[in-house]
Structure 1
Amino acid sequence: MMDFLKSFLGIAAELTILFIIISFVISLLQGYIPYEKIERELTGSNKFSASIIAIVFAFITPFCSCSTIPVVVNMLKNRIPFSITMVFLFASPVLDPTILTIMGVVMGWKVTVLYTLITSMFSILIGYTLDKLGFERYVKNVVMKGYEQSNEKFNWKYAVGETLSLMKSVYPYLLIGALIGAAIHGLVPTHFITEWFGQDNWWLIPIAAIVGIPLYIRLSSMIPISQILIAKGMALGPVMALMISSAGASLPEVVLLKSIFRKQLVIAFILSVITMSTVSGFIFFLV
């Protein structure tokens, strides 16, 4: 019990310090992002440039999978091209700057950079594939309220408020992840994870990609869990597949998507997230 408590406090303390510092700095910087200019660039004729900007926009707007939906509706309402909107939809929940920075510190920058490149590439590829296949016709004519872009420059006081707000919505998941990670560290034998979830069990990757969606494990919770699993010998491939699928889609998000997309596009979205997670898992497995 003491080992479990010590492990939990150690993981929680490290994540808490990182989370507060990083989220505060990002909150300060977000006030100086030219959102109107970004929106103009997203509607530009250069599709490749617009795709890169959509990825950057996804990175600088840290939303979970559910809170991404109102932004997507706003983009469609402002006639942002369907392909670019889909790029943002897939990239936004998996490219949270706070969590990516924590991932870099906890899991290593090589893993984080590769994760960022893979998820960005697949977001662009899936966005344009859905557009080419004509899935835009499955978008409902819906107006969703609840999202407004602030034009106010952030100051220190505002950044503190944003940090506290972010802690209320995200920090509990970090603690849950730390709790589960500490339990795995103290209660699950290393040889069990190595034997059943180790390097040669490639079949775990598609299973992890499928399981991740209904589990609704947020990316913030997966970081400490992944750290312990990898340290105990679990292969990186299934860990990353589970991480990407759980962050990229969730049951609450699917319900919200059903209100703005027809079932054909919702099914395509789920299959796309599973595909992205599975292929990404195999890339990490091979690397």
Structure 2
Amino acid sequence: MNEKFNLALNEFMHVGIALLLIIALVSVLTGLVRAFIPQEKLQKRLAKTGKYSGLMGALLGIPTPFCSASMVPVSMGMIEMGAPFAMVFSFLLSAPLANFVVVGFILGVFGWKIALVYFLIVFIGSVLIGTLVGKTSIKNEVKLININSKKFSSKPTVTNCSSTIIEEEKQNECSNNTKEKHKSSSCSTSTCNEINEKKSKYKEALKFGWSLFKRIFPYVLIGALISAVSTIFVTDTWVQKYLGNDSPFAIPIAAAVGVPLYLRIEMAIPILKALILKGMSMGAAMALIIGGTGASLPEIAIISSMLKPKAIIAFILSVMLMAIVGGYIFYFFF
């Protein structure tokens, strides 16, 4: 019992600290983007994506090597900037599944063919699902994103940057008399304004990041607790017993089992490689990877800080659909 408790405690500490650090970093970065990129210009760009919103969201997910939990601050920023829901939903699906780190791990362990098929499944799935969901009433199932932060003005700020320089000048080489010449000068108004504006933007970026972090923080702790409890009940032995066979029925089970797990891809892939060598099908392995990486319970707990229940259910079902479809593709062709 003590051993299981220690295992759960270690998992809680590891997952909790890791997620808090990542989310803190991403929250600040989101604040910086919001502060230094003109919001009106960005909103117009996002609005112009139109029918390609799902594709844009999925593409944005590729260079982001984080789990979906840490993508919540970015998604909140996108929503506040007026991004279409199709883009946000596709991004949430693509970021943890199609990012270059996950694909790189799969490439290194399973080879380029499996890595390519995996990428196509999760990327195309993210685009299609995000686009379809964006056309339904689920797009309104978003919690109010109301983070207080003043808007930045492009108008110059009047500041008092004048200084007085006192110079002593000799009248001539033969004279011992000196006089003080008061010369009034001022630093460049534009330079002063630029410095003050940058300081203001950094301050507002940190303020915005802190507001995001405070909003997500409780959900991170809930997610870490769920992950800790799951380590007690869903062990490697359990996975091998129920999923470590070549049955096609193992695929939907693997997709469902992946949800309560918090699969760190660097640990999951080597374990699954060993299970495949012991008889587990490639289809079940990939279903487990997609399900566990895309929609684990800890991540769902954190995503609930921005999505309402219907949208969360749609998110879970979307990941499970990709996991099952992808699993059967690998099962029949590999």
What TM bracket, shorter-length normalisation? 0.5 to 0.7
Kept in 1, the 8 Å contact 2:244–2:276? The answer is: no
**Is 1:247–2:299 an aligned residue pair?**
no
Distance 1:105 1:81, change over 3 A: same
2:88 equivalent in structure 1: 85
2:317 equivalent in structure 1: 271
1:119 equivalent in structure 2: 122
* 1:42 CA drift (Å): 4.4
C-alpha distance in 2, partners of 1:52/1:258? 24
Distance 1:277 1:195, change over 3 A: closer
C-alpha distance in 2, partners of 1:273/1:195? 21
Kept in 2, the 8 Å contact 1:239–1:281? The answer is: yes
Structure that is richer in helix per residue: 1
Distance 1:216 1:136, change over 3 A: same
C-alpha distance in 2, partners of 1:69/1:221? 23
* 1:219 CA drift (Å): 2.2
Q: How is 1:62-81 mapped onto 2 (pairs within 5 angstroms)?
A: 62-81=65-84
C-alpha distance in 2, partners of 1:102/1:268? 28
* 1:45 CA drift (Å): 3.8
Structure 2 residue corresponding to 1:197, chosen from 232, 235, 244: 244
Kept in 2, the 8 Å contact 1:194–1:232? The answer is: no
Q: Which amino acid aligns with 2:100?
A: P
Residue 140 of structure 1 aligns to a residue whose secondary structure is coil
Structure 1 residue corresponding to 2:48, chosen from 40, 44, 48: 44
Identity of aligned residues (%): 36
1:105 equivalent in structure 2: 108
Structure 2 residue corresponding to 1:146, chosen from 209, 215, 224: 209
2:133 equivalent in structure 1: 130
State the aligned residue count: 210
Unaligned runs of 5+ in 2: 1-35, 148-207, 212-235
* 1:120 CA drift (Å): 0.6
C-alpha distance in 2, partners of 1:101/1:206? 25
C-alpha distance in 2, partners of 1:147/1:111? 41
C-alpha distance in 2, partners of 1:195/1:54? 35
* 1:62 CA drift (Å): 1.2
C-alpha distance in 1, partners of 2:248/2:284? 8
C-alpha distance in 1, partners of 2:295/2:305? 15
Distance 1:46 1:206, change over 3 A: same
C-alpha distance in 2, partners of 1:84/1:126? 10
Kept in 2, the 8 Å contact 1:38–1:57? The answer is: no
C-alpha distance in 1, partners of 2:293/2:45? 27
Q: Based on CA coordinates, which of the two structures has the bigger radius of gyration? A: 2
Deviates further, 253-262 or 234-243: 253-262
C-alpha distance in 2, partners of 1:252/1:196? 22
* 1:59 CA drift (Å): 0.9
Deviates further, 137-146 or 68-77: 137-146
* 1:96 CA drift (Å): 2.7
Listed one character per residue, the Cα deviations across residues 59-114 of structure 1 (whole Å, up to 9, x for unaligned) are 11111121011111111111111111111010001123123212201111110110
Q: How is 1:175-214 mapped onto 2 (pairs within 5 angstroms)?
A: 197-199=244-246, 201-214=247-260
**Is 1:283–2:329 an aligned residue pair?**
yes
* 1:43 CA drift (Å): 3.5
Q: CA RMSD in A?
A: 2.9
Structure that is richer in strand per residue: 2
C-alpha distance in 2, partners of 1:66/1:146? 16
C-alpha distance in 1, partners of 2:126/2:249? 24
Kept in 1, the 8 Å contact 2:284–2:327? The answer is: yes
* 1:196 CA drift (Å): 7.1
Q: Which amino acid aligns with 2:116?
A: V
